[in-house]
Amino acid sequence: MSDPHLNAMMENLYWWGIPTLFRCPNLPVDGQDIALVGVPHSAGNGTTERDQHLGPRALRNVSSVQRRMHSGFQLDPWNAAKIVDLGDVPFPKANDNEDCIQQITNFYQQIDKAGARPVSVGGDHSITGGIVQALGCGAITKGEPICFLHLDAHTDVFTKVDHFLGAKKSAAHWGAYLADQGKVDPAHSMQIGIRGHARTLDWLQPSYEYGYNVVTMKDYRRRGLADVVAQVTEVLAGRPVYITFDLDCLDPTIAPGVSNIEAGEKGFGIDDAVGLLHAVRGMNIVGGDVVCMMPTKDSPNQITALTAGAIMFEIISMIAENHLSQ
């Protein structure tokens, strides 16, 4: 069977073949433009759900059906850039959060050195700390700190206690310690969609003190998409942008399989989320991640995994489009 159309048909069957992310070849990073990576880590957040390490497997299982063209961009990302699935970050001490974060950093230093831009699926949100320890002030950013486009129900800038159930570089701490290390420039980073139920009334204070630009969900609804997009453009233009997307920023009706599900206030619809992502289209996007996927809490139709794939596809497409225009 050598007919390319028939082969393409086979590749879109989500249940067919050995599952890789978006059916990309499993190859080493050298010479590649975009590196897709699984980060099956869940020791950074034990306060709610613990199956976030199953996220990459869930994405590999569904994403071949999402190996698509980007109609809005009129783009074939898979031919615009060289894109591979590097596999998963190895975690020989999977229950030791600090060791895992170091493993992540070591792995992404190799990717940074090779010049490929990583798009990752977690894993709990602590993985962003490990990734940006490698990318911040690295080769791809040309020595500059990372500027975040951070979509999330929570700020993850926790400073009151120096650990979360023993995890120091935890899913709640990365926004703080990356800024302390100088790997991130909070004054040129955005945190959008914050709506978590607060345990203390001053829970946003650490974000403000670090200088992050915070747009709560209430702010977003009051201001509207266009106004927030204008602020993203102003804050991030000309800087190395890293997109970190916590699936709990989405409304639980479209993303029920997340670890820190937030009831009580409407989250983003998919059009809001994609609209916010497109605010950085054409900017220097150095990488991105999608985190907090909880396959064991997903609906039987796997809508959370499919939505996570759709978000990853947007990030991949924007980076691929930049490659095409270079």
Partner 1 sequence: MASLPTDFFHPVSGMEMPRFAGLPTFMRLPHVTVSDPIIDQVQLGLVGVPWDAGTTNRPGPRHGPRQLRDLSTMIRAGNPVTGINPFSMINCADLGEIGRAHV
Nearer to partner 1, 8 or 324 (CB): 8
CB neighbour burial string for 179-194, b if at least 16 within 10 angstroms, e if fewer: beeebbbbebbbbbbb
* Nearest-approach distance from CB 57 to partner 1, in angstroms: 6
Q: In this chain, which of 12, 61, 102, 110 binds partner 1, going by CB under 8 A?
A: 61
Nearer to partner 1, 286 or 305 (CB): 305
Q: In this chain, which of 24, 36, 49, 53 binds partner 1, going by CB under 8 A?
A: 53
Burial of 217 (0-12, 13-18, 19+ CB in 10 A): buried
Q: Is 158 in the site for partner 1 (CB under 8 A)?
A: no
d(CA 85, CA 193): 30
* Nearest-approach distance from CB 5 to partner 1, in angstroms: 12
Q: Is 298 in the site for partner 1 (CB under 8 A)?
A: no
Nearer to partner 1, 61 or 109 (CB): 61
8 A C-beta contact, residue 179 and residue 189: no
Q: In this chain, which of 12, 27, 33, 57 binds partner 1, going by CB under 8 A?
A: 57
* Nearest-approach distance from CB 51 to partner 1, in angstroms: 9
* Nearest-approach distance from CB 16 to partner 1, in angstroms: 5
Q: Is 2 in the site for partner 1 (CB under 8 A)?
A: yes
Burial of 201 (0-12, 13-18, 19+ CB in 10 A): exposed
Q: Is 56 in the site for partner 1 (CB under 8 A)?
A: yes
Q: Is 125 in the site for partner 1 (CB under 8 A)?
A: no
* Nearest-approach distance from CB 7 to partner 1, in angstroms: 5
Q: Is 1 in the site for partner 1 (CB under 8 A)?
A: yes
Q: Is 92 in the site for partner 1 (CB under 8 A)?
A: yes
Q: In this chain, which of 12, 19, 73, 159 binds partner 1, going by CB under 8 A?
A: 19
The pair of three-digit structure tokens given for residue 182, joined into one six-digit string: 């100088």
Of the candidates 176, 167, 163, 153, the residue with the CA atom closest to the CA atom of residue 292: 153
Q: Is 40 in the site for partner 1 (CB under 8 A)?
A: yes
Q: In this chain, which of 29, 36, 54, 194 binds partner 1, going by CB under 8 A?
A: 54
Q: Is 85 in the site for partner 1 (CB under 8 A)?
A: yes
Q: In this chain, which of 32, 35, 44, 60 binds partner 1, going by CB under 8 A?
A: 60
Q: Phi and psi for 84 in degrees, rounded to 5?
A: -130, 160
Which range binds partner 1 by CB under 8 A, 14-22, 110-118, 137-145, 300-308?
14-22
Q: Is 211 in the site for partner 1 (CB under 8 A)?
A: no
Which residues are near partner 1 by CB under 8 A?
A: 1-2, 7, 10-11, 13, 15-20, 26, 38, 40, 53-54, 56-57, 60-61, 85, 87-92, 94
